[in-house]
Amino acid sequence: MRVRHATRAVVLLAAALGSAAVPAAREPSLESRVERLEGLLQSQGLVDLLAQVQRLQRDLQQLRGDVEVQGHTLEQLRQRQRDLYVDIDRRLQQLEAGRPGVSTDPTVVPGMPAAPPPALNDVAPAPPGMPTAPAPAAAVADDPAAEGKAYDEALTILREGRYAEAAEAYRQFLATYPNGRYAGNAQYWLAETYYVTRQFQPSLDEFNTLITAFPDSPKVPDAQLKIGYIHYEQGNWKEARAVLEALVQQYPDSTAARLAGERLQRMTREGR
């Protein structure tokens, strides 16, 4: 009898435990659900972090590309500046080679004939003690010695790199000797003082003035070359190409034409 009651109690206890275990197995505990949510949140955080890393990598690659482009542009500017200084130095040397140095006597310009003796019918010099009449203003502009001296002084200022002063000196020279022997050259170097300081529009105007006012000057091909360079610097590719191609056709054997051809090849490589 006692065994039967014990057996029944065990059966009832087992049934009760079984009924309690079923919901526990079917419904996850609060702790397990919290852990699962934390795992999901951690996974989403890793995804966001990965996305941020990828965005940073893309931004870094773009910055590197920008740095490379800026570095290339800077190197191009440096090369243009070096080419410019080499060109101006070469032209100054050529100019000096074509003109002997200035004599210590300011009234004599080497390479020019000395002034002829006065003719018999010239006016005799004033007697001692009598004031001499001032020379006419036009005589200053017709004095080859004074013109050569003024030109050399402006050239010296330019070689020293005092470009603003050189521009003023050349303007004064052209005002005094508008039709002088070195007027065409002075007009060219006036334009060059603006070009070397990257004042492209004033330089362009002065080079065009040289071509218009001194069409027979040997500096015309050089002026056309610099006009093409200025259009290049300003991004006017069509105008630059037109001017440089015309220069090559008009002066095929000149140094300016060779330099124009090199710039045209460079523009072709750049796709311009």
In this structure, is residue 137 part of a structural domain? no
In this structure, is residue 212 part of a structural domain? no
In this structure, is residue 55 part of a structural domain? yes
Closest listed residue to residue 88, CA positions, set 268, 259, 263: 259
Q: What is the pLDDT of residues 4-21, one digit of tens each?
A: 555 565 555 555 555 554
In angstroms, the Cα distances linking 170 to 91, 152, 206, 236, 246 are: 17, 10, 12, 29, 28
Phi, psi of 118 (to 5 degrees): -65, 140
In this structure, is residue 62 part of a structural domain? yes
Window from 20-29, 35-44, 155-164, 190-199 with minimum mean pLDDT: 20-29
Percent of all residues in the chain with a pLDDT value above 90, rounded to a whole number: 47
Number of domains, the chain: 1
In angstroms, the Cα distances linking 121 to 26, 118, 124, 125, 133 are: 139, 8, 8, 12, 18
Structural domain harbouring 78: 35-88
How far, in Å, CA of 208 to CA of 214, rounded?
Answer: 10
* Better-predicted residue by pLDDT, 144 or 39: 144
What mean pLDDT value characterizes the chain? 75
Q: Quick one: average pLDDT of 11-32?
A: 58
Q: Which residue has the tokens 């523009």?
A: 267
pTM of the complete model = 0.53
In this structure, is residue 74 part of a structural domain? yes
pLDDT of residue 193: 95
Q: What is the pLDDT of residues 119-160, one digit of tens each?
A: 333 333 434 444 444 444 444 456 888 999 999 999 999 999
Per-residue confidence at 34, pLDDT binned at 50, 70, 90?
confident
